Structure 1
Amino acid sequence: MTSETPSLWARLRLLRTLRADPSRIGDASVLQSDLMGARMREEIRQQVEHLCARSHCDRLRPRLDHEALRRLPPGTFGRAYAEFCAAHRIVPATISDAFDDDTLRRNPAIARYICLHDMFHVLLGCDTSLPGELRITAFIMAQRWFAAGELFLALLHVLGPLARPHQAREVLRNLRLGRALARRAPMLLAEPLEDLLGHELADVQRRLGLPVTA
């Protein structure tokens, strides 16, 4: 016997409830993406599913102890990640055990990105400013995680400087750098990043084809 799929209105009500709970912002983000029909390319989905194959949904619900990460030696990926989150007052999104597995499995790549986004800041060497976020966006679009990635990236080269005229050169520099990094790096969502937190950040970046400094 299969469970009945909740109606659209029921899911919208659930989204409203989840968004009101700071501890379930990850759940809300995945459900919102699902409702909007957001999907990454099938090739990307398959790579993430291959990584998750032996761990069920564990790779989609990573549990990271930031206190323990802050006790790692200076220079390690995990220490840098924990300090980045603390410095920017970021509480990384997590997906709770209560969140529906079927919805999670429909969006494995998106769910994993929601949980690991802040690691990308550390690996790609960028801050949380608009130019920094655009470096990550350019990386994602240049790796064609989404079908219209190249078109969207072209639009960013026009709209980005218009959004921040006083930072136009910085915006364009970050877009160029994001594209350059994307050509050298593997698809990061399919990499076991959680297993690399105890390694030296510089070594992890070299392994992933990313620069030690950016």
Structure 2
Amino acid sequence: MTTLPLIHPGRPGAGLRPIKALRHFRQLVADKEDTEQVFHITNDLRGRKFVAEAKTFLTSPLGRRLQESGEYLPEILDDHDALRKMPAGSLAHAYADFMEAEGLSAAGLVEEQQKFAAQVPHYDDQLDWYNNRLRDTHDMFHILSGYGRDPLGELSLLAFSYSQNKSLGFLFIAWMGALEEKRITPRGTPIFRAIKEGQRNGRIAAKIGHQDIVSLLPLPLEQVRARLNIRPPVTYRAILDGYHRAGIDPNHSFGSAVAA
């Protein structure tokens, strides 16, 4: 059994700091690749529901087993040679394909999070382990949900993620970002509908971060989606199709538009 406290007695309560969150959001708007700001925003807008979701998983048999196992997802997920030995069409292959195409690594996200961690107090507790698990499964959320790394995909995924773990920071970024996105997209583009769809899909689906990810890796991607009841992002895909027909780059940045 893990000897870490569920919540460190010195950890502050789940208070909300919207003014600080807004300041960090403006920095994120100026540079959407500044991932560190996301960690600041979620820290400023954690909320009680997020902590309740964490406790539910941490006290579950799977949550306790994974903590006690010492499993470290970044090392497992960054071993693409091992992932490629799993069956073709599996979640493992989809993950390796996605990360290689995007030039990403699980270790890289850890490095971004550590920039934030160096600026705030550290609390050695199970909640810290849970936060790290959500960090390490972020790109798995992309693959399973069907949302890409374009601005609308990221915003829709944050709405999806909010419904999964109740982090108010994710919902804040999703809707504030949607307002920015709406300003620079063609009139009539259903940006807000895509965000609502992300919330709905995340609410209906089983919680990705609460799954035994390693056991899912060898399974066919579509089988995993069906098992977790993850529905396709219909509105998001329709918007991307519209962008393609109109010759619009879906990777446009609301940040560059605002900063210009």
Q: What interval of TM-score do these two structures reach, taking the shorter chain for normalisation? A: 0.5 to 0.7
Q: Which 5+ residue runs of structure 1 have no aligned equivalent?
A: 6-27
1:143–1:183 Cα contact (<8 Å) kept: yes
Secondary structure of the 1:56 match is helix
Question: Which residue matches 2:231?
Answer: 211
Provide closer, same or farther for how the CA distance between residues 212 and 146 of structure 1 changes in structure 2, counting only shifts above 3 A: closer
Once residues 112 and 52 of structure 1 are traced to their aligned partners in structure 2, the CA distance between those partners, rounded to angstroms, is 11
What is the Cα deviation at residue 179 of structure 1?
Answer: 1.8
Question: Which residue matches 2:52?
Answer: 43
Once residues 44 and 60 of structure 1 are traced to their aligned partners in structure 2, the CA distance between those partners, rounded to angstroms, is 21
Tell me how large the CA RMSD over aligned residues is: 3.7
What is the Cα deviation at residue 187 of structure 1?
Answer: 2.1
Question: Which residue matches 2:29?
Answer: none
What is the Cα deviation at residue 77 of structure 1?
Answer: 0.6
Does residue 56 of structure 1 match 2:67?
A: yes
Provide closer, same or farther for how the CA distance between residues 74 and 157 of structure 1 changes in structure 2, counting only shifts above 3 A: same
Provide closer, same or farther for how the CA distance between residues 104 and 95 of structure 1 changes in structure 2, counting only shifts above 3 A: farther
Question: Which residue matches 1:169?
Answer: 189
Does residue 184 of structure 1 match 2:204?
A: yes
Q: Which 5+ residue runs of structure 2 have no aligned equivalent?
A: 1-9, 11-34, 112-116, 235-260
Q: What are the Cα deviations for residues 73-128 of structure 1, in whole angstroms up to 9, with x where unaligned?
A: 221111101110011111123769xx9x9536342332111111111111001211
What does residue range 143-158 of structure 1 map to in structure 2 within 5 Å? Answer: 143=164, 145-147=166-168, 154-158=175-179
Q: What are the Cα deviations for residues 129-171 of structure 1, in whole angstroms up to 9, with x where unaligned?
A: 1111112101122345225766665545434323x43598264
Does residue 125 of structure 1 match 2:146?
A: yes
2:162–2:171 Cα contact (<8 Å) kept: yes
Query: Which aligned segments of 4 or more residues in structure 1 are displaced greater than 6 angstroms?
Result: none
Moved more, 65-74 or 75-84: 65-74
Once residues 58 and 171 of structure 1 are traced to their aligned partners in structure 2, the CA distance between those partners, rounded to angstroms, is 42
What is the Cα deviation at residue 37 of structure 1?
Answer: 5.6
Secondary structure of the 1:209 match is coil
Counterpart residue type for residue 66 of structure 2: S
What is the Cα deviation at residue 172 of structure 1?
Answer: 3.4
Question: Which residue matches 1:71?
Answer: 85
Secondary structure of the 2:87 match is coil
Give the percent of matched residue pairs that are identical in Structure 1 and Structure 2.
22
Once residues 182 and 82 of structure 2 are traced to their aligned partners in structure 1, the CA distance between those partners, rounded to angstroms, is 40
Once residues 193 and 137 of structure 2 are traced to their aligned partners in structure 1, the CA distance between those partners, rounded to angstroms, is 24
1:39–1:110 Cα contact (<8 Å) kept: no
Question: Which residue matches 1:8?
Answer: none
Once residues 167 and 88 of structure 1 are traced to their aligned partners in structure 2, the CA distance between those partners, rounded to angstroms, is 30
Provide closer, same or farther for how the CA distance between residues 173 and 90 of structure 1 changes in structure 2, counting only shifts above 3 A: farther
What is the Cα deviation at residue 48 of structure 1?
Answer: 3.2
Q: What are the Cα deviations for residues 44-75 of structure 1, in whole angstroms up to 9, with x where unaligned?
A: 11133133312336577313121111232221
* TM-score, normalised with respect to structure 2: 0.57
Size of the aligned set, in residue pairs, is 183
* TM-score, normalised with respect to structure 1: 0.68
Moved more, 146-155 or 136-145: 146-155
Question: Which residue matches 1:109?
Answer: 130
Once residues 220 and 232 of structure 2 are traced to their aligned partners in structure 1, the CA distance between those partners, rounded to angstroms, is 11
1:60–1:111 Cα contact (<8 Å) kept: no
